[in-house]
A and B are shown apart, each in its own frame.
Chain A
Amino acid sequence: DTEVTQTPKHLVMGMTNKKSLKCEQHMGHRAMYWYKQKAKKPPELMFVYSYEKLSINESVPSRFSPECPNSSLLNLHLHALQPEDSALYLCASSLGALAGLYNEQFFGPGTRLTVL
C-alpha cells in the first residue's frame, strides 16, 4: 500500500466552528507532514512529526493544532479559523529524515478547506 489518504475531501466551516482533518498512511513511514497550499503556489510546510513527536512547527498560528496519535495517523484540529486560512491542506509522509535518506515524500490528495 503506497497511498496516503485524507478525509474529508472538502470542508466548509464557519469562523467559530471546530473541525478536524485526518490523514492516514500504512507504508511504515515515520515522518508525517502537514502542508498548506494556496492557489497557484507551492506547498508551504506547517508541521512535521517524526516518530510521533512534533519535530517542526513553522510558526503556525495556534488555531491550527496537530496531533499524531500513532505512527499511521495524523490529525489537524481547526478552531476559530479566518477566511484567509481557506486553502488546500496536504498531508505527506516519508521514511524519515536521517542523512542518506532522500526524504521522498508521498502526498495525499488533500482537503479543500473553505472558511466562511
Chain B
Amino acid sequence: AQSVTQLGSHVSVSEGALVLLRCNYSSSVPPYLFWYVQYPNQGLQLLLKYTTGATLVKGINGFEAEFKKSETSFHLTKPSAHMSDAAEYFCAVSPRAGGFKTIFGAGTRLFVKA
C-alpha cells in the first residue's frame, strides 16, 4: 500500500531564507507526486507535480521539487521565503496504475518570520 510521510508538522524560516519541506513516499512503483498548498480557510491549490521525465520540477510561486527515486523522496524547496508563503503544504501521491484515491501526507505548516 502507498503512504506519504512529511517530516516536520511545523517549519519556521525567516523571510528571505531557504524553504525546505520534506516528503517521502512508500510504493513498490514510483507514483505520481504532487505538492499542494492551502491558505487559511481556502481549498487546496496545486503547486507542482511530477509525472514523468525531468526529475526537477518547477511550480508556481518560485517553488520547485526534485524526485529522487533512490531516496523515495520529493522534497519541496524555494530559495527565498516570502511572508505570503505562510500556509499549509501537503505532499500527495496517486498510483500510476490508475484509480481515484490520492494519498495525502499529514501536512507541514510553514511559518515565515519577518
Contacts and interface: CB of A to CB of B under 8 A. Distances in A.
Interface of A: 4, 6, 31, 33, 40-43, 45, 48, 50, 55-56, 88, 90, 92, 94, 97-110, 112
B98 A45 contact: no
Given A107-B43, A110-B42, A112-B41, A102 B51 contact: yes
Interface string B87-110: 000100010111111101111010
Main secondary structure of the interface of B (DSSP, over half): loop
A41 B96 CA distance: 25
Given A101-B98, A102-B49, A104-B49, A42 B43 contact: no
Given A42-B107, A45-B100, A110-B43, 13 more contacts: A31-B100, A33-B100, A42-B104, A45-B102, A92-B43, A100-B98, A102-B32, A104-B34, A105-B44, A105-B102, A107-B45, A109-B42, A110-B42
Nearest to A108: B43
Contact of B46 (A42, A98, A101, A104): A104
A98 B98 CA distance: 5
B32 A43 contact: no
B107 A40 contact: yes
Contacts of A92: 43-44
Q: Which 6 A-B pairs have the closest CB atoms?
A: A99-B98, A42-B104, A107-B43, A102-B32, A107-B44, A103-B94
B100 A48 contact: yes
